[in-house]
Amino acid sequence: MNPEHDTPGSAHDEARRSFLKQSSLLTAMALVPGPLVQAASAELDEKVAAVFEKIPLKLEVNGIKHKLSVEPRTTLLDLLRENLNLTGTKKGCDYGQCGACTVHVDGQRVNSCLSFAVMHEGKKITTIEGLADGDKLHPMQEAFIKHDGFQCGYCTPGQIMSAVACIREGKADSEGEIREYMSGNICRCGAYSNIVAAIQEVKGGGQKV
Amino acid sequence: MNQFQYVRPTKQQAAIEAVAKDATATFIAGGTNLVDLMKRGVMTPQKLVDINRLPLTRIDADPGKLRIGALALNSTVADDKQVRARQPLLALALNAGASAQLRNMATVGGNMLQRTRCSYFYDTTMPCNKREPGTGCGALEGINRMHAIFGFSDKCIAVHPSDMSVALVALDATVQVSGPKGNRSIPFAELHRLPGDMPQKDTTLEPGELITAVDVPDGPFTKHVHYQKVRERASYAFALLSVAAALDLDSNNIIKAARLAMGGVAHKPWRLTAAEQALVGKPATEETFRQAATVAMQGAKAFKHNAYKLQLGPNTIIQALKTAASAA
Amino acid sequence: MNEQPKPKKQIGAPMNRVDARQKVTGAATYSAEYQLPNMTYAVLVGSTVTKGRLTGIDTKAAERAPGVLAVITHLNAPKPPSPKPEGKDPSQPQTQGNPLQVFNDDKIRFNDQPIAVVVADSWERARYAAGLVQAQYAKEAHQTNLEANADKAFLPTAAKKNPKHPMNDYQRGQVDAYKTGAVKLESEYVIPTEVHHPMELQAITAHWEAPDRLTLYDKTQGTLATRRDFAKQWNLPEENVKVIATYVGGAFGNALHSWPHESAAILAAKVVNRPVKLMLTREQMFTMVGYRPYTWQKLGMSATPDGKITGITHESIGQTSTYEEFTEATLAQTRMMYQSPNVTTRYRLAALDIGSPIWMRGPGEATGAFALESAMDEMAYLLNLDPLEFRLRNYTDEDPEKNKPWSTKFLKECYKLGADRIGWSKRQLKPGSLRDGDWLIGYGMGVGTFGAHRGAATVGAQLLPNGTVLLQCATTDIGPGTGTAMTQIAADTLGISPDKIKFELGNSSFPKAVTQGGSSTVNSVGPATQEACLALKDKLRTLAGAAFSTAKAEDITFEGGQTVMRNDANGKLPLQIGLRNNPSVKVSYSDILRQNGQQNVSATVEAKPGGEGQKYSMYSFSVHFAEVRVHQLTGEVRVSKLVSCADAGTIVNEKTAGNQMKGGAVGGIGMALMEHARIDDRFGRYVTKDFADYHVPVHADSPAVEVAFVNQPDPHVNALGTKGIGEIAIIGVAPAIANAVFNATGKRIRELPITPDKLI
């Protein structure tokens, strides 16, 4: 954890504020005609922004520790997909309404699209890429294959991450309970019957998930 | 989404000051509503004060009440043994909301403070007095099937979307608040406001005030409770209308005490005290429930597309009370 | 013993998907997931008015925002060398790939029409800058309500020009004969606008690899159609445009057309001269990539008291845009499903200021079946007849529209399978007879049909030195399991194990094939796969020399290959070609190659339909049986049981085919109970913008769907006997549910979706 980001009024905060002032000055200048001024200020804006608009972030993703520098407005989902090249986590709505972006944060399933990456400082993230044990698939992945719990495959990583959590949470005791507690993961192809069968098999098999 | 400053204080006072002194600042906890609104440009805070490091996650089982920290997660509260035993209605309402993933992110404080789901509020190109005072209410003459039948004004007919809050208002909860001027308690029924001429103001909180906890007093409502939520699909949808019902029955099935509140009908969770009184002293029968439902709906007024709520309201009240009465 | 065990028959086996591992591990790569150097991100700015002209557009603030590389509008956009003229060619029978030209002029044709695209070095920066673009408009009055414009509805231009066009009015027997029938009904039905909403947001990564070479990683159902459209737009030889769609995250029809965002991304990539990634938002999925059009229908039907239909008149008005005429076969099922001497159909369009519709799963047939199959149920009640019995009394043994025999029709068998499984005998004719506490229980059925379409397709097959076979085809897979089915077909044709076969698709450079749509992929690509494999064997036979000269392709067997262990020196048996009827005749594959001086053996074969369509009427059929529970106080509907039975010819893979049927059933639940995209006509703008407002079924809405196939090959469609599944999986589901709701409650809902407000 970086103490610099812990307290309002810190050095970072002050620097950011002066950047904002400076930035609006540059914006005002840019209203004056003159391509040169515009170009110069845009260039400066860009460089200043790059320095001040990002803040450090430490995360552990699938067992790998990352030291990153990110804009506060970058969501965990976009960080995974665009910065870390972990595109297994999907963007299906970007508003927490479909579940395609489901990952585990410190073991809990969450919608990665609805939180800023910086809010996860120091946390452990598991994505679909981190679920298998090397070449050995997780039992839930195996069950999804066996029961054909998908068609196009786009919601699948989110369904699988959610399904694993569903069993861990103890919310997979009946077909009805599975359907309710998996309702945060939409499958537009409609493979629900097969997904439920896969979860029931893993749950019934009693393997550790 | 605009850039914003991000700070992560560890002290409550620092968090409150950060928001109190900066009108463009706002708290963020679970983020499940705020991040969504920021993506669409509906809310454009210049500074986010992340309060997740504040020690406000505890659920304290005190004598006579449960004190639930504002940062307790919806899922944690819904699964908490004390909550399930002492306030099962709250657990039911929580589990009726959102999805398992969202309940793992959303906090109790944030759930109370979520904004309306009115489509006109969500679209920055549409008129909306709540989002941009003075632009008019798009829903008034628009598509208003989700909208209010109680307590609206000609400035706003939006409804509050929280399920949890419907249970909390029924259970006479109290919100603990800390602000620049110190601490205070707000009866839950007074936390949310009616739109009146200022629909932009959802609650009675002052700038910089932070919800720290909600107290739910013990009562006799540990068995005969039900949260009936009617929605357009079986799960993971906002309510067309919902009812929180709690009964205390004697051995002859006579109602000793009753609590009743509705969601999806007003700018705030809608407590039905007159209907509660109409239940007390009567036998727990469908006829009694029907009479109470009639009382509950007095004063309701519909718009072009939500007239169905005038029928769905009493029906759902009856169903909620029936289920509550028969809960074993 | 060199003999391998004979591989078991793969066609019909419930084989796991060949791409399953990629899909469950997150390794499957969709169109926004390719990593290219110097990637940039594009975000579209949409019009906030519905009709009119742009009078000004201020991009200064956006241009100055950090990270922004370009802001492109109609004022500064380079014009593609040969932009297509606005509007489609009216002589074409159906909407063709005529994408709206973006940034071409100042005209606004629908709300959220792209007016600018912002390109930046990150997605966050592009999105922020897009919000800074300010536009001014000269607004004009717009029309977005179909019913308000029904009086202006018109016969499609293509039909006006061509009297034989299927969208013309149809007449069999007497005009509007139902009006004088003994028992008659006349009902109006409405299907609201529904949106495909595949889980993958529409996305494209556009990369100009050279000034005249374009590569697109795109969400498309037709790599070749997309290639053709954009090659034409940029006046490039088709081979200079490469379209890659290895994985498509669902589409349901909305990737059958080329859309404005694709043009925008290609333009943007040209301007910044770097790869551009553009992914639509969920809001934009409503406005610019098609939808199932709002459709009004009126159905009149008459019957004799003993249940023989004497007349049907089916009229519909569907929505289209002002710049394309979109048509679909809404009235097709009515002309051929039931025996009626008199049938009239009239199809009209109303042009509204909304983006163009596009076929959505089951397309017009699903819309039309809601009216027809609801009316069948209504008539059964008027006649006091079991709806299944009523259908049987009007069953057609040959196509009454074309007066041709069916190639195959096993719909009666489907009825029987489905009725047994749902427990149709429990059903009471009188509505409201069955209940469980406050839940009223009802049963209903709905029938579906869709043409067993087949197009030309080419597959390339290569036998590689390691004994594996690589097959390639430009077709796509949006989820049904195309590669899996083709692998099974190839395995049986070649007589080798499926794990030695790789079927590659989703690339415009591969041999050409039909677009994936209209349930035609297996019908078309299946035979091509089969014939390519046979040609491969034949080629081997020829190359193998004299010993094989009299053998037929089916006599050729494969033995060995690198994966078979043996006690010889290198531990590996070279691949050998043998003769089935004479095991002593063998020649090693490496010898064949050496003798002929070749690296490998390959065959590319085109397979196309012959004249069978002239002789036979070819359709797939389905029937869906629903059990619903309706809460008598809250009006909530739950589908508690759904049984879907299909006569789809040969079932190549019972697991993936069954899944496709289940998925169609879930789509039908959405149609029946919740899907409704609403526009506030004052603004011409959708108020349903995401999955919170526009509901699609979730896990809790779906029962465990039961599927049964008749699984009888159709000998006429193709040699495999397939007929197609994708559409019949959904056609007829919504009316089955609506009919079950009537059986439960006595309430006939003729305007979908059946939401609680309509039942209390």
Chain B residues within an 8 Å CB radius of C635: 230, 312, 315
Q: What is the DSSP string of A55-78?
A: EEEEEEETTEEEEEEE-TT-BHHH
Q: What's the mean pLDDT when you consider all of chain C?
A: 93
In CATH, what number does C40-141+199-250+255-287 get? 3.90.1170.50
Task: Give alpha helix (H) positions in B129-233.
Answer: 164-170
What is the enclosing helix (H) or strand (E) of B88? helix B88-95
CA atoms within 13 A on the CB side of B275: 30
> Which of A26-35, A45-54, C385-394, C413-422 is predicted with the least confidence, judged by mean pLDDT?
A26-35
Where exactly are the structural domains of chain A?
3-52, 57-128, 139-205
B33 within a domain of the structure (yes/no): yes
pLDDT digits (tens, 9 = 90+) for A127-162: 999 999 999 999 999 999 999 999 999 999 999 999
B258 within a domain of the structure (yes/no): yes
Q: Nearest by CB to A154, from C16, C200, C699: name it.
A: C200
Q: Nearest by CB to B3, from A53, A114, A118: name it.
A: A53
Distant-in-sequence, close-in-space partners of C740: CB < 8 Å, separation ≥ 6: C442, C443, C444, C626, C627, C628, C639
B19 within a domain of the structure (yes/no): yes
Please give the angle made by the CA atoms of C581, C587 and C588, to the nearest 5 degrees: 130
Look up residue C30 and give its two tokens: 């969709």
CA gap A152, A141 in Å, rounded: 15
B98 within a domain of the structure (yes/no): no
Q: Is A188 on the interface with C (CB under 8 A)?
A: yes
| Residue, of B104 and A40, whose pLDDT is higher | B104
Q: What is the pLDDT of residue B80?
A: 98
Look up residue B237 and give its two tokens: 């949808």
Chain C residues within an 8 Å CB radius of A152: 198-200, 247-251, 478-479
The tally of domains found in chain B comes to: 2
Mutate to test the interface with B, among A111, A160, A169, A173 (most CBs of B within 10 A): A111
Where exactly are the structural domains of chain C?
20-27+455-608, 40-141+199-250+255-287, 149-194+291-453+614-758
Cβ burial of C198 (10 Å; 0-12, 13-18, 19+) is: buried
Residue B81 burial (CB count, 10 A): 9
Q: Which CATH fold topology does C149-194+291-453+614-758 show? A: Aldehyde Oxidoreductase; domain 4 (3.30.365)
Distance from the Cα of A134 to chain C's closest Cα (Å) equals 11
Task: Give residues 169 to 208 of C whose Cβ lies within 8 Å of B.
Answer: none
Distance from the Cα of A38 to chain B's closest Cα (Å) equals 21
CA gap B242, B265 in Å, rounded: 8
Q: Is B117 on the interface with C (CB under 8 A)?
A: yes
CATH H superfamily, domain A139-205: [2Fe-2S]-binding domain (1.10.150.120)
Q: Is B46 on the interface with C (CB under 8 A)?
A: no
> Which of A43-52, B57-66, B142-151 is predicted with the least confidence, judged by mean pLDDT?
A43-52
Distance from the Cα of C393 to chain A's closest Cα (Å) equals 34
CA gap C319, C326 in Å, rounded: 8
Q: Are C149 and C320 in contact (CB under 8 A)?
A: no
In CATH, what number does C20-27+455-608 get? 3.30.365.10
Distance from the Cα of C657 to chain A's closest Cα (Å) equals 10
For helices C589-596 and C521-544, give the axis angle rounded to 10 degrees.
70
The band of A44, judged by pLDDT with boundaries at 50, 70 and 90, is low
Question: Mapping DSSP to helix (H, G, I), strand (E, B) and coil, where does residue B287 land?
Answer: helix
Look up residue C383 and give its two tokens: 């006649």
pLDDT digits (tens, 9 = 90+) for C557-613: 887 654 333 334 444 556 788 887 777 788 888 888 888 888 889 999 999 999 999
User: Least CA distance to B239: which residue of chain C?
Assistant: C692
B262 within a domain of the structure (yes/no): yes
User: Least CA distance to B98: which residue of chain A?
Assistant: A184
Q: What is the DSSP string of C453-480?
A: ----EEEEEEE-TTS-EEEE-S---SSS
Q: Are C485 and C552 in contact (CB under 8 A)?
A: no
Task: Give residues 76 to 115 of A whose Cβ lies within 8 Å of C.
Answer: 78, 81-82, 85-95, 97-98, 100
Look up residue C517 and give its two tokens: 């749509």
Q: Nearest by CB to C691, from A97, A129, A132: name it.
A: A97
Q: Nearest by CB to C760, from B1, B117, B308: name it.
A: B308
- Given this structure, which CATH class describes domain A57-128? alpha beta
Q: Nearest by CB to A156, from C24, C29, C67: name it.
A: C24
User: Least CA distance to C282: which residue of chain A?
Assistant: A93
Distant-in-sequence, close-in-space partners of C10: CB < 8 Å, separation ≥ 6: C487, C488, C489, C491, C492, C498
Distant-in-sequence, close-in-space partners of C436: CB < 8 Å, separation ≥ 6: C629
Q: Do B32 and A96 touch (CB under 8 A)?
A: yes
Q: What is the pLDDT of residue C587?
A: 85
pLDDT digits (tens, 9 = 90+) for A82-119: 999 999 999 999 999 999 999 999 999 999 999 999 99
B314 within a domain of the structure (yes/no): yes
- Residue C675 is among the residues annotated as catalytic for this protein: no
The residue-averaged pLDDT of C186-208 equals: 98
B319 within a domain of the structure (yes/no): yes
Chain A residues within an 8 Å CB radius of C360: none
pLDDT digits (tens, 9 = 90+) for C29-70: 999 999 999 999 999 999 999 999 999 999 999 999 999 999
Q: What is the pLDDT of residue C556?
A: 81
CA gap A67, B87 in Å, rounded: 44
Q: Is B4 on the interface with C (CB under 8 A)?
A: no
Structural domain harbouring B42: 5-52
Q: What is the pLDDT of residue A2?
A: 37
Q: Do A41 and C479 touch (CB under 8 A)?
A: no
The band of C109, judged by pLDDT with boundaries at 50, 70 and 90, is very high
Q: Are C241 and C231 in contact (CB under 8 A)?
A: yes
pLDDT digits (tens, 9 = 90+) for C684-700: 999 999 999 999 999 99
Note the Cα A19 to chain centre separation in Å: 29
**Statement: residue B89 has pLDDT above 60:** yes
Q: Do A87 and C29 touch (CB under 8 A)?
A: yes
Distant-in-sequence, close-in-space partners of C251: CB < 8 Å, separation ≥ 6: A152, C196, C198, C219, C221, C478
ipTM (interface pTM)? 0.97
Q: Do B117 and C689 touch (CB under 8 A)?
A: no
The band of C313, judged by pLDDT with boundaries at 50, 70 and 90, is very high
CATH code of the domain in which B27 resides: 3.30.43.10
Q: What's the mean pLDDT when you consider all of chain A?
A: 85
Question: Residue C474 to residues C33, C44, C300: CA-CA distances in angstroms?
Answer: 20, 29, 45
